[in-house]
Amino acid sequence: MSRAASAKIALALTWDGARWPVASLPPKARAFLAARGFSSPTRREAARLLAADAVREMRLCWVPELKGGDNVLAEVFAAPKGQRVPFRAVKTAQFNDVLGVVYQR
């Protein structure tokens, strides 16, 4: 992990990786994403952070929908060192049919 890996991002996504409006989530799921120190970057900014190996932790709410389209987690980016970005799920929480997952480096 890079020393610069300090960003913490929080997003709601559909199963196919499309962004989902946080306002439409149940209140507890919104609170899960609103944890202190987390931001919701644009897809371009998310791609920049991931390509720079600068993301330490992600909080994602997975919404059981398929949405498609261009509004996705991140734009295409080259992974650091050409390898998979190494995150692991460390916590899960269920909010009705929404699954909240905390991924850490």
pLDDT digits (tens, 9 = 90+) for 12-25: 999 888 889 999 99
Structural domains in the chain plus CATH codes: 7-104 (3.40.430.10)
CB atoms within 10 A of CB 51: 17
Q: Hey, which bits of 1-105 come out as E strands?
A: 7-14, 55-63, 88-95, 98-104
Listed in sequence order, the residues at least 6 apart from 78 whose beta carbon sits closer than 8 Å to its beta carbon are 51
Whether the model clears a pTM of 0.75, i.e. scores above it, the answer is: yes
pLDDT digits (tens, 9 = 90+) for 43-88: 899 989 988 889 999 999 999 988 777 776 666 677 777 777 789 9
* Residues in a beta bridge with 94: 99
pLDDT tier at 92, thresholds 50, 70, 90? very high
Question: Would you state the pLDDT for residue 74?
Answer: 67
Question: Would you state the pLDDT for residue 78?
Answer: 72
